[in-house]
Amino acid sequence: MTVYFIGAGPGDPELITVKGQRLIRHCPVIIYAGSLVPAAVLEGHQAHQVINSAELHLEQIIEVIKAADDKGQDVARVHSGDPSLYGAIGEQIRCLRALNIAFEIIPGVTATAACAALLETELTLPDISQTVILTRYADKTVMPAGEELASLAQHKATMAIHLGVKHLEKIIAELTPHYGPDCPIAVIHRASWPDQDSVSGTLADIAHKVQVKGFKRTALILVGRVLANDSFSDSSLYRAGHAHLYRP
């Protein structure tokens, strides 16, 4: 028996790995994050037990898994995006290890990747930014020392901020001294879902644009010079005259 932590991707049911889809269709027990995973992701399943984890607390989730383990049944534990990023799988894994229950993590497409695709941009451009910081706004979850937005912003790298659109004005205040008021920023709502939407601007004007759109949750913030910059060098990878193992 194995528990499979499956990344369902950002929303589009086709943005799931072949392996993840196969496991969902064959596991007899499915526990999925119903508020974030579209029902279409579960299409074709043959499970006799499908449970929405949004209605359960951790102990109840583990009870379901333990019951499946007692019967020798595999479990598809389906999370949105990639389960290793803000998926709260760490606490589940800790419980499974204590119970000696086998598990495997199946990666998924991240919300950040889906947002970059929607914006038609590369997040790491030569001369502009070679680093992407994935973080969140500190609300109920306290940020460890040194991971406050103002500290991370000093790197001026491309930054993806989860769970922060409700606090956009505070975020702007922390980022502006480091990125500058003219720095490009985008707020993407429900990337890859049928009702996906986005708005782009600068740190100086984005707050009003987001207010007009009415984005209040399920949105990701991307900030960095890569979002509106054509003045960068070609990469070495495809540059004529640059030799490497496959192009002597």
CATH number for the domain that contains residue 197? 3.30.950.10
Q: What per-residue confidence (pLDDT) applies to 247?
A: 66
Q: What per-residue confidence (pLDDT) applies to 124?
A: 95
Q: Are residues 96 and 124 in the same domain?
A: no
Q: What per-residue confidence (pLDDT) applies to 237?
A: 73
Q: Residue 183: name the closest of 135, 223, 131 by CA.
A: 223
Domain boundary among 106, 126, 153: 106
Longest dimension (CA), the chain: 61
Q: Are residues 127 and 45 in the same domain?
A: no
Q: Residue 129: name the closest of 43, 231, 204, 34 by CA.
A: 231
The domain in which residue 206 lies consists of 111-223
Domain boundary among 69, 89, 106: 106
Q: What per-residue confidence (pLDDT) applies to 16?
A: 97
Q: What per-residue confidence (pLDDT) applies to 93?
A: 98
| Assigned domain for 243 exists | no
Q: Are residues 75 and 159 in the same domain?
A: no
Q: What is the domain-level CATH number for residue 83?
A: 3.40.1010.10
Q: Are residues 83 and 21 in the same domain?
A: yes
Low-confidence ranges of the chain (pLDDT < 50): none
Q: What per-residue confidence (pLDDT) applies to 7?
A: 97
Domain boundary among 89, 106, 123: 106
